[in-house]
Chain A
Amino acid sequence: GAGVSQSPSNKVTEKGKDVELRCDPISGHTALYWYRQSLGQGLEFLIYFQGNSAPDKSGLPSDRFSAERTGGSVSTLTIQRTQQEDSAVYLCASSFTGGDTYEQYFGPGTRLTVT
């Protein structure tokens, strides 16, 4: 079956522009996570969705960042008025919460470069 997909794979944008990143989780996975990874660094948690609701938005770095999930499936992460420090790889992961493992399946990421 299909894994987690993300689009675009690469995005170059000018400082001050808005960007939208998309994540398609594995079908049936109710949990969805967004992370940010700067070059050579670990994973920075941004937001978690259970279904369409986001019980934990604590990782969003500023009010320029927002995310939504519709139909319990596709999620979009929006960054308004991008800054150079937003440059990173944005990773999406999904997991099935009905079993024992809750392992997270990651997408290939979107590499965002703000010039």
Chain B
Amino acid sequence: GQQVMQIPQYQHVQEGEDFTTYCNSSTTLSNIQWYKQRPGGHPVFLIQLVKSGEVKKQKRLTFQFGEAKKNSSLHITATQTTDVGTYFCAGRSNYQLIWGAGTKLIIKP
């Protein structure tokens, strides 16, 4: 079946360093969504990308959708403690979202 692979599973960074998570789909996606789940919380929608090659920015977060609409990335510049959590990508296929396994951002003490 359709799968969305997300890497890495964890990323440990010093505060101020950058963070990137990548998603790769086995099939072409109509769009891709990104969600953030804070520790102990539930996933919260961040953004949706629809167009081939689309790039969107939200402050220090940059989201990209690949030209073939099969891959996507989220890059956070100069991480802060408020960025801690797990970031999920979810690719749309018909009515359903195919979820990546998530990347947990951990700030080193």
Which A positions have Cβ atoms within 8 angstroms of B?
31, 40-43, 45, 48, 50, 55-56, 91, 93, 97, 100-109
Contacts and interface: CB of A to CB of B under 8 A. Distances in A.
Interface string B81-107: 000000010101001110111101000
A32 B53 CA distance: 30
Contacts of B42: 91, 106-109
Contacts, number: 47
A106 B90 CA distance: 14
Nearest to A31: B95
B48 A104 contact: no
Interface residues of B, number: 20
A55, A97, A103 interface centre (most CB from chain B within 10 Å):
A103
A97 B95 CA distance: 9
Given A103-B48, A106-B44, A45 B96 contact: yes
B43 interface: yes
Interface string B38-70: 000111110010100000000000000000000
A91 to B, nearest CB: 6
Contacts of B33: 101, 103-104
B62 to A, nearest CB: 19
16 contacts: A31-B95, A43-B43, A43-B88, A43-B99, A48-B95, A55-B95, A56-B95, A100-B50, A102-B97, A103-B33, A103-B45, A104-B45, A104-B90, A104-B97, A105-B45, A106-B43
